[in-house]
Structure 1
Amino acid sequence: MSLDADSIVDRRRLKRRLMVWRALAVVAFAAVGIALVGDVDGLPGTDHVARLYVSNVIVEDTHRQTALEELRDDDSVRALIVHIDSPGGSVVGGESLYRAIREVSEEKPVVVTMGTLATSAGYMVAIGGDHLIAHEGSVTGSIGVLLQSANITGLLDKIGVKPEIIKSGPLKAQPNPLEVTTPEARQAIKDVILDMQEMFTTLVKERRKLTSDELKKVSDGRIFSGRQALELGLVDELGGEKQARAWLAETRNVPESLDVRDVVIDYGEEKWRRLVNGYIGKTLFSKRLSLDGLVSLWQPVAW
């Protein structure tokens, strides 16, 4: 009888020990999880500075728009750093991202840092920020709009091919590689390009507070180094993220001690397609863009 009582006591002790070890295991896992979160992004809901990377060819992106809307309304986001390393992209892509950044700026400070490239639509996006910072060797500017096409009618004549084109009007589907561009068609296309160029330069003039003469110097499509851009009023400062944090602390009361967290954009099933597109050559990708809309893209010959 005494043996049975001892067994019962031992079992109870064993159960208590197991419960203690289980509780310790739960606490340990929780501590590890908190540590990992703290190392990567800090605790959710704590004040921080958000960082958005804009790279490769810029196209319209509703997922990125949504992410910007969410951080705009997130009180724990004290400021936004936009890092741009892009040769440009479609006019609509640049315009839509510019306006999304301006909406964020209405609620919290936005500072832009430039990497190797921030040209064409990339610069359009940049001027959405409150303060622009470039490295001395950054390449920016290339303020302009272009539409590229090719005329292969001479080649078709040589190989004995004559295209048949039936359309509703003489200006439909212009420019068209299969027919010679008429003066009327060329002028119609030029009018559209100049109208979009006026939109672009108006944004630059307003955001950078340039005079008409100053604007004329920078809006002929040429590129500028970061040092030249500073002299011409296209950027506010030379440096990188360190200078961005200093500016936020000195002028917008955003402590430099706050964590910086990258903006995570949820593309869902589109993630792999976008990853592949990111590695497609800029020249090849820009050909598809020319079918969808006008392009604001710096295209060096050696690229």
Structure 2
Amino acid sequence: MSTDTDAWLERRALARRVTRWRVIAVLALLILTLAVLYRLDPGNLLARHQTHVARLEISGVIAENDWWLEKLEEAAEDDRVRAVILHINSPGGSTYGGEALFQAVRKVAAEKPVVSVIGTLGASAGYMVAIAGDHVLARETSLTGSIGVLFQTAEFSKLMEKVGVSAETITSGALKAEPNPTRPMSPAGRAQIQGMVNETHDWFVSLVANRRALPREEVAKLADGRVYSGRAALQSKLIDGLGGLTEARSWLAESRGIPVALPLRDIPPDPPAGMLDGLGSRTFATLFGKSLFSERLRLDGLVSLWHPE
């Protein structure tokens, strides 16, 4: 009888030990799974409902993009977002797209601090967006600046003559069809477009002078379209400092009292609304778009874009 009792007690003890180790294993697996999900989660969804610093990436050619504008508006209105870090890697784009993003960032900055971090490239409209932030950083070898505006067209009249093709255009006014790819640009048409480019360039220069607290005459000298390295941009006061994410978090902590330990949540990237739809067309654009077509030729309107020939 005593032997049966001892065996029963031993089995009970063994069962308790097995159960305890199973619970420990399940808990360890759960913790490991959560850790992996946290590391792999592009949007830091586990921190979605915590107070955090939001980071939005502005990359590629800047055009009309409602998604970026919506995300910036959401960040401005979300009380859980203590600050926004913009990571910019863009050669620029349309002046309209840059202006819209600039205004959206300024609306965020009216509610909470915004730091702009320029990556490999933040030029033209990309730089325009960057200076909307309260503090602008770049690496020493980043490329930035390229303050300027361009309008590019093409003219095929000589080619048309060679192939025996002609075109007739009937307009309501002398400048209605300027520029026209079927004929050389007229002096009046060139003067009108040059005036529009100059007007937009003056607006861009004034924007930089205002945001960077620099004399307009000084900015005008810097705004000849050239790009600057991060070091040169810092010397010219086009940016505030050198660095990246670490330096951005340090500035937020030192100047705005936002702890470095506060979680950082990446706003997940999303295909820009209205751009090429469908997997096939996106694949074609990725593989051949840049090589076959100049980016600036795929943008309508005035362009603020750095793209070496």
Give, in whole Å, the separation in 1 of the partners of 2:210 and 2:164.
54
Letter in 2 for 1:56: G
- For residue 250 of structure 1, what is the aligned residue in structure 2? 254
Q: Which runs of 5+ in 1 are unaligned?
A: 1-23
Letter in 1 for 2:179: P
Q: Is the 8 A contact 1:58 1:90 kept in 2?
A: yes
The TM-score normalised by the length of structure 2 is: 0.82
Q: Are 2:297 and 1:287 aligned? A: yes
Give, in whole Å, the separation in 1 of the partners of 2:174 and 2:273.
42
Give, in whole Å, the separation in 2 of the partners of 1:151 and 1:269.
31
Give, in whole Å, the separation in 1 of the partners of 2:272 and 2:222.
40
Q: Percent identity?
A: 46
Q: CA RMSD in A?
A: 2.5
Give, in whole Å, the separation in 2 of the partners of 1:208 and 1:82.
17
Q: Which runs of 5+ in 2 are unaligned?
A: 1-22
- For residue 205 of structure 1, what is the aligned residue in structure 2? 209
Q: Is the 8 A contact 1:123 1:141 kept in 2?
A: yes
Q: Is the 8 A contact 1:37 1:43 kept in 2?
A: no
- For residue 179 of structure 2, what is the aligned residue in structure 1? 175
- For residue 84 of structure 2, what is the aligned residue in structure 1? 80
Give, in whole Å, the separation in 1 of the partners of 2:110 and 2:233.
25
Distance 1:269 1:228, change over 3 A: closer
Deviation string, structure 1 residues 99-156 (Cα, Å, up to 9, x no partner)? 1011000111100111111011000110110000011111111101101112221222
1:3-152 mapped onto 2 (5 Å cutoff):
38-39=38-39, 40=41, 41=44, 42-152=46-156
Letter in 1 for 2:78: D
Q: Are 2:223 and 1:219 aligned? A: yes
Q: Are 2:305 and 1:297 aligned? A: yes
Q: Are 2:162 and 1:154 aligned? A: no
How many Å apart are 1:38 and its aligned residue?
4.4
Q: Are 2:287 and 1:259 aligned? A: no
How many Å apart are 1:34 and its aligned residue?
5.6
Letter in 1 for 2:246: K
Letter in 1 for 2:294: L
Q: Is the 8 A contact 1:67 1:265 kept in 2?
A: no
Letter in 1 for 2:245: E
Q: Is the 8 A contact 1:214 1:232 kept in 2?
A: no
Q: Is the 8 A contact 1:34 1:43 kept in 2?
A: no
Letter in 2 for 1:211: P
Give the 3-state SS of the residue equivalent to 1:58 in structure 2.
coil
Q: Is the 8 A contact 1:142 1:298 kept in 2?
A: yes
- For residue 7 of structure 1, what is the aligned residue in structure 2? none
How many Å apart are 1:195 and its aligned residue?
1.2
Give, in whole Å, the separation in 2 of the partners of 1:81 and 1:94.
17
Distance 1:191 1:270, change over 3 A: closer
Q: Is the 8 A contact 1:64 1:265 kept in 2?
A: no
Distance 1:278 1:47, change over 3 A: farther
Q: Is the 8 A contact 1:54 1:82 kept in 2?
A: yes
The number of residue pairs the alignment matches comes to 275
Give, in whole Å, the separation in 2 of the partners of 1:165 and 1:225.
46
